[in-house]
Structure 1
Amino acid sequence: MKYVYQRAREALAAVPRHDFVAGADLVHSITGHSIPREETVRHILAVMPEVEPDQRVMHVGGGSGYLTAVFAKLAHQVIYVDKDVPVADAARDRFQHLGLHNIEVIASSLEGGFELDTPCDTIVCTTFTVNRDSVGQYLVEGGHLICLEGRAGPVPSLAMFVREAGKLERVRTLGWVDFNRNSEQVLIDLGMVDEKTLASAKIEAAAENRRLLDVLRQKLNLEETELYRSLAKQRGMTLIDADQLLPKLEPELFRRFSRTFLDLSRLIPVASHDGVLTLVTDDPDARTDQLERMSPDQEIECLLATPTDFRRIWSSLDLTVKGSRFVADHASTEAGSHLNDGSARNDVLGKGDDSISPYLVSVYEAILLDAVSERASDIHIEQYGDRVRIRLRVDGDLHELPQYQLSPREIKGVINVIKLRAELNIAEHRLPQGGRSRLQLGKVKYDLRIQTQPSLHGEHAIIRLLPQTGRAMSIADLGISQVIGARYQRLLNNPAGLLLVVGPTGSGKSTTLYAGLQNLADDGRRKVITVEDPIEYAIDNVQQTRVRSEIGFGFADAMRAFVREDPDVILVGEIRDHETALEAIRASQTGHVVLSTLHCNDAVDSLQRLYDLGVHPNSIAGELMAVIAQRLAKRICTHCRQPAEPDPTILAELFPEGAPANFRCYAGQGCDNCNGSGTHGRVAVVEYMEVDADIRNAISSQPPIGELRWRALDAGLITMRDSALDHVIEGIIPLSEVPRILPRERMAPEIRGGRRSV
């Protein structure tokens, strides 16, 4: 690099680059061209003619204004030009704040033209959108134009022109100028990380042999898609979604390259059309120069994907390649004789040896990866004749994974892999089996609850994914109202009593109980013991025990043992039978808070369920503190939530006598964050019944369940309808979710002691 003259060094020192990047207005607009690195500005000043103190300079493509501000320290007057009006306005404010009054800001493009009183001595263009032929009118005779030429790549060429006789004449090439910023610099410029945090992350990444971006994302608790979308914009790349690419992948192209080379380069070739080789990477700083040399006749296009999507694309291509080999290896046995149960083991293990077929293991692991990446709670692997379906349950709904086109033979092998991992009997195809295995992705561990089920066309497998983070949701995270949350917390602080959370399977009962346990664990003043089947979430500082029915250790046995271990709070995973119900009541009578679940439809139905289990009404009345009944509703995506027009049919059911004039509701419009669904995650909609003196008297007299309900309503029962409408009005759930969680007879206000509720 040429020597930078003294005045240029002083100008650089006088203009801190940080003043031009620490602004929220730049988050979606700054690039390496509009906020160049200090080294890039130094290089431009070194190769261009020296700017004299009496000169007039124009900077086209001013962006944040950093280079313009440096010119302002060198020249008498500077003209800042940028076609992006908000960016230009922000730059004007920044110049005024820094006291740079010799800068005139023009929000326009050169192609559009603008008036200029006095021509300039030098024009510097750091953007490719300039038509050089229209620039000459703004230059004095003999003035210099410094501009980019060549293709708009990360390292373009800088050239110099001179105006002579009213025309621009090219003088020479000044060399390459690198506007590129690596991911670290981009994150600093966006204000996502500071130098101290970055240095700490580099040490941690080196010590743990992890990628720096992965460490930073974890330390800063950044959402993966948002982080990579920001990096893609700043690096001039396109962020691609795996679901867009999976149907169009070209396995033959993947086979052409060394796996080791692709893995080390963090590149996947996905398409080759019309002289363009398309690659996908999860590294914004990935280099493609080696592939450019290997494919001199093709233009390289590099797309950015999140690490999760990158793994999904790699797995899909890898599975396709391995699958073709698997079919070829087993083609001879396909025409062979019938496979009995014993030979089924050889089918999954490969050619009769002791190692599991890598292809079938890869299929299973790819399915797990897809499930984790889509936040699925369950995986359903099903066979219907010759058709195989793999579906994920996400936010309560099932949707299919079309990329897995597996044969019945292959799906049998995958189910055998699942059985081996869960230590199930691989030879048993006639009876249902249940087991567990574990999965670890990065630092997150998952407990997998596995159930196999024989059916008409073959075995089905259902896998529930339970993340094990050492923490559960807190009560505040559940999304229930502050009033109910405060009452729930108060019940946990009671000296003794029974608290039930009820609802159908999959309604989040355990999650609500675990939230209470998490608050107790954080408090640390009380001993908490649980007995569960299975342990769904491991919580630090809580003593958790698993039921072992195969050795005669059930819920009731655990309860009898627990009361001798000086606990304050006991959680029983589920009250299933008379014996467990009695032990729960006895534990609450001996000075313990007992938490448990029941399968029933609402809070009042739980009383009938306890009656049916043989618990004496007086015991229920004396020990029951409260019942929480719940369902799960889809939560509106906060990124695309908008006011919505209420469905008149639903309104007519909710308000038979007419909806309130100020009733409002919301819905998600669909965006990248929710994959176009308009919803993201689920929230509990609860019914809350606290047992007071009136309800205790009613329980003891064991009236019909209908009478019990209206007595509970008169005593202040918070119905599920009340909770659902609160969530709708607050914009937490869409109105369309209400009929999904409420039966038709509960949509309208209920009768309370002969009159309708509000």
Structure 2
Amino acid sequence: MADQLGDLLVQKGFLSPERVEQLVLESKRQNMKLGQYLIREGILKREQLGEVLSEQEGKPYMDASAILQALENGGLNSAAKLSTFFNKPTDQLMGLMRTYRLIPIGKTEKGIQAVLVPPIDKNTLKRLRDYFKAEVDYAVTTEQDFSDVVVANFFNLETLTKAKEEQVVIREVKVTSLDLLATEASAETALNILFFDAAHRGATDIHFLSAPTSCIIKYRIDGMVQEMVQIPKSLAEEAITRVKVLSDMDIAEKRRPQDGQFDLVVENQSYSIRVATVGSIYGENMFLRLLYRRSLRTGLDSLGMLPEQVQAIREMIRKPYGIVVTTGPTGSGKTTTLYALLKEIYETRDKNIITIEDPVEYDFEGITQIQINPKAEITFSGTLRSALRQDPDVILVGEIRDEETMKTAIDAALSGHLVLSTLHANNALAAVARFMSMGADPMLVASALNCVMAQRLVRVWDAVSETYRGRLGIFEILPMDDELRKMISSRADIVDLTNAARRKGFMTMEEIAKIRVDQGITTWEEVVRVVGGGIQ
């Protein structure tokens, strides 16, 4: 769109081609639309931009005063009046307006009349038609005109924007039973109750699962999913819309998967909420992961490793360079393990430490913590390259997700940095194969790897109360030595690598689990559930 707008500005003689090229780059640096940037800097008048946008879209231009007059004439000059007129929930309609920079101003026999801020593509118009179930006849306006109208008439819209940019704060919720959600409740109240209750129960996830006539709410607590309550389907739809607004997601898209994130504070405790939505046969489902932003208290000795494993990993992180990687499914404690390693390094050596995460899960004073944001083009690989120019000794990369991040991490390790990260693989030895399947050179992998770990969390059995209380880690730890490096370089298969590792004392997760069962720390049933079958 910037190119189209730039071409029109040149054609109309407002700016030279060279000047447009320069301004396009500058607006991108400021993360602003070109037109918005031109007006802010006083390079273009608002009406000049409106004229260009009108020609670009082939639609009339309406400035703020014209839009306000149209709303006044139709009696639509408040959020409540607008939602009543179009028969849409206020939160939902305000969210749509913010997402698509839209102001509906009336109806015609064929559909609705609206004002939109370009760029406007076919997908946008289709989603608006689907939402209003009518054709959309529109005029164009500038971002500044849009903001003026919103501030004058729809403060709720700005409140939603502010809520998205800041933190949602829940100080206290007086509720004795989640069954209250089955009666009348607003979306905001329902979410406050759920977040408050989930936080107090220690839940890591909240699931909204659409059913034919209701929505089932489930929590994941200590790794187990359990149904908590069923709520009206209409309430769930409004709650999902509110979460989408807070997470800067497309509220009109209810079929395709979407991901988002927002910050939450419950009774002075900070959380990052990861959001995932997807359409199902009964409606839209939503999955919320509650990541507790806490100060780190966990040390290596309290993770669940055997004493000899703690000693082995301590030796690996004393090395000045190389990669230490841990694997495991979501929610298996990988980030906690990496931060326990960082804590050990920080307390025993004077090092410059940088973390690159999505999101930052622990507050750690004295190190540099960076949260990635793909929408703002702040990626793992790009941030890792930048971090290498900031004189680091140790770098934590939240996850090696792609080939580019992997190769940059290997380069960092081989150029004198200690890199800690996570990887998706079933066990420690499979992580070695995973590097190769992502396109890494076996010789470079062999040279870079210091240690590979795999982990799971099992519930701890309390024999006195005969219930499970809390969870503990079960770990595979495979330090690299010359023989294993040589085998990796020559592309040895997993069976040969496993046999060589076992000759050096390597124990599989199943063998570690058996030790914990024999010690009475957990049960066979729990081990089979978490680690899998085949336990002897």
**TM-score range with shorter-chain normalisation?**
0.5 to 0.7
Tell me the equivalent position of 2:353: 528
> Mapping of 1:332-343 within 5 angstroms?
none
Alpha-carbon offset, residue 502 of structure 1: 0.9
- CA distance in 2 between partners of 1:347 and 1:562 (Å): 36
Equivalence map 1:585-664=2 (5 Å): 585-637=410-462, 641-642=463-464
Deviation per residue, 1:128-148 (Å, 9 max, x gap): xxxxxxxxxxxxxxxxxxxxx
Cα deviation per residue 1:317-361 (whole Å; 9 max; x = unaligned)? xxxxxxxxxxxxxxxxxxx99967999427999xx9765997221
| TM-score (norm: length of structure 2) | 0.65
The answer to whether the 8 A contact 2:313-2:479 is kept is no
CA distance in 1, matches of 2:89, 2:189: 23
> How far apart, in 2, do the equivalents of 1:354 and 1:552 lie?
30
3-state DSSP class of the match of 2:470?
strand
Other structure's SS at 1:604 match: helix
Q: What does 1:159-178 align with in structure 2 at a 5 Å threshold?
A: none
Deviations 1:618-644 (A, max 9, x none): 11111211111111111123xxx24xx
For the 8 Å contact 1:585–1:619, the answer to whether it is kept is yes
Q: Do structure 1's residue 423 and structure 2's residue 248 form an aligned pair?
A: yes
Shift of 1:570: 0.7
Give the number of aligned pairs. Answer: 374
The corresponding residue for 2:365 is: 540
Separation in 2, partners of 1:435, 1:599:
21
| Structure 2 residue identity aligned to 1:452 | T
Which one of 735, 750, 757 corresponds to residue 524 of structure 2? Answer: 735
One-letter amino acid of the structure 1 residue matched with residue 223 of structure 2: G
**SS where residue 744 of structure 1 aligns?**
coil
In the other structure, the counterpart of 1:716 is 505
1:572 to partner: Cα distance:
1.2
Q: CA deviation at 1:452?
A: 1.9
In 2, distance between residues paired with 1:437 and 1:550?
13
**Cα offsets for 1:379-399 (capped at 9, x unmatched):** 001111112100100011111
CA RMSD, 1 decimal: 2.9
Q: 2:267 — aligned with what? A: 442
Hey, what does 1:682 align to over in structure 2?
Answer: 471
Higher helix content, 1 or 2: 2
1:490 deviates by 2.5
Letter in 1 for 2:479: E
**In 1: Cα distance, 2:489 partner to 2:234 partner:** 60
User: How far apart in 1 are the matches of 2:494 and 2:226?
Assistant: 39
Find the aligned partners of 1:501 and 1:475 in 2 and give their Cα distance. 14
Q: Which runs of 5+ in 1 are unaligned?
A: 1-335, 643-667, 670-677, 749-758
> One-letter code of the match for 1:345?
L
Residue 196 of structure 2 is matched in structure 1 by: 369
Partner SS for 2:421 = strand
Identity between Structure 1 and Structure 2 (%): 31
Contact 1:386 1:408 in 2 (8 A): yes
Q: State the partner residue of 1:506.
A: 331
Q: Which residue of 2 aligns with 1:388?
A: 215
- Aligned residue for 2:231, secondary structure, equals coil
In the TM superposition, what whole-angstrom CA distance separates every residue of 1:48-74 from its partner, at most 9, and x where no partner exists? xxxxxxxxxxxxxxxxxxxxxxxxxxx
- d(CA) in 1 for partners of 2:235 and 2:373? 34
Change in CA separation of 1:552 and 1:369 when aligned onto 2, cut-off 3 Å: closer
2 CA distance for matches of 1:411 and 1:367? 12
Match of 2:93 in 1: 345
Judge conservation of contact 1:388–1:406 (CA < 8 Å) in 2.
yes
Taking the TM superposition and a 5 Å limit, the aligned residue runs for 1:460-609 are 460-471=285-296, 473-523=298-348, 525-609=350-434
Q: Distance in 1 between matches of 2:281 and 2:485?
A: 50
Match of 1:291 in 2: none
The 8 Å contact of residues 429 and 454 in structure 1, kept in 2 or not, is answered as yes
Cα distance in 2 for partners of 1:440, 1:623 equals 40
Please list every run of 5 or more consecutive structure 2 residues that lacks an aligned counterpart in the other structure.
1-83, 98-152, 161-183
Residues 738-758 of structure 1 deviation map (CA, whole Å, 9 limit, x = unaligned): 21233434x24xxxxxxxxxx
Counterparts of 2:263 and 2:383, CA distance in 1: 25
Query: 1:482-534: per-residue Cα shift (whole Å, max 9, x none)?
Result: 22122222222211111110122222222211211233344461111111222
What displacement does 1:592 show?
Answer: 0.9
Name the aligned partner's letter for residue 391 of structure 1: K
Question: Contact 1:694–1:715 at 8 Å: present in 2 too?
Answer: no
Aligned equivalents of 2:424, 2:272: Cα separation in 1: 23
Cα distance between partner residues in 1 of 2:227 and 2:299: 32
Which residue of the partner structure matches residue 399 of structure 1?
Answer: 226
Any idea what SS the aligned residue of 1:541 has? coil
Q: Aligned with 1:437: secondary structure?
A: strand
**Could you tell me how far apart the structure 2 residues matched to 1:465 and 1:522 are?**
29
* SS at 1:411 equivalent: helix
Question: Which residue identity does 1:695 align to in structure 2?
Answer: L
Given candidates 481, 484, 487, the residue that maps to 1:695 is 484
Q: TM-score, normalised by structure 1?
A: 0.46
Q: How does 1:204-219 map to 2 (within 5 A)?
A: none
Query: For the Cα contact (< 8 Å) 1:631–1:684, is it kept in 2?
Result: yes
Q: Is the 8 A contact 2:217 2:231 kept in 1?
A: no
Q: CA separation in 2, counterparts of 1:471 and 1:345?
A: 41
Q: Deviations over 1:453-490 (max 9, x none)?
A: 22222211111111112325221221222221222222
Equivalent AA in structure 2 for residue 591 of structure 1: G
* Residues 322, 413 of structure 2: 8 Å contact kept: yes
Aligned ranges 1:50-65 → 2 under 5 Å: none
Paired AA for residue 396 in structure 1:
G
Q: Is the 8 A contact 2:95 2:251 kept in 1?
A: no
Native 8 Å contact 2:354 2:367 kept in 1:
yes
The change in CA–CA distance for 1:472 and 1:415 in structure 2 (over 3 A counts) is farther
Pairwise mapping of residues 52-451 of structure 1 onto structure 2 (< 5 A)? 344-345=92-93, 355=156, 359-402=186-229, 405-451=230-276
Q: Which amino acid aligns with 1:571?
A: L
Letter in 1 for 2:237: K
CA contact (8 A) 1:578 1:613 kept: yes
Give, in angstroms, the shift of residue 574 of structure 1.
1.3
Q: Structure 1 residues 429, 472: closer, same or farther in 2, change over 3 A?
A: farther
What amino acid sits opposite 1:429 in the alignment? K
CA distance in 2, matches of 1:586, 1:346: 47
Deviation for aligned residue 1:366: 0.4
1:732 and 1:693 map into 2 onto residues whose CA distance is: 36
Cα distance in 1, alignment partners of residues 347 and 267 from structure 2 = 25
Verify the 8 A CA contact 1:471 1:540 in the aligned structure 2. Answer: no
743 and 513 in structure 1: CA distance in 2 versus 1, 3 angstrom threshold: same
SS in 2 for 1:401: strand
Which SS does the other structure have where 1:717 is aligned? Answer: coil
> Can you list the C-alpha shifts for 1:33-90, whole angstroms capped at 9, x where unaligned?
xxxxxxxxxxxxxxxxxxxxxxxxxxxxxxxxxxxxxxxxxxxxxxxxxxxxxxxxxx
Instruction: Measure the CA separation in 2 of the matches of 1:553 and 1:440.
Output: 24
Select the structure of larger CA radius of gyration. Answer: 1
Residue 208 of structure 1 corresponds to none
SS in 1 for 2:440: coil
Identify which of 482, 490, 495 aligns with 1:706: 495
On the 8 A contact 1:454/1:460 being kept in 2, the answer is yes
The separation in 2 between residues aligned to 1:549 and 1:694, in whole angstroms, is: 40
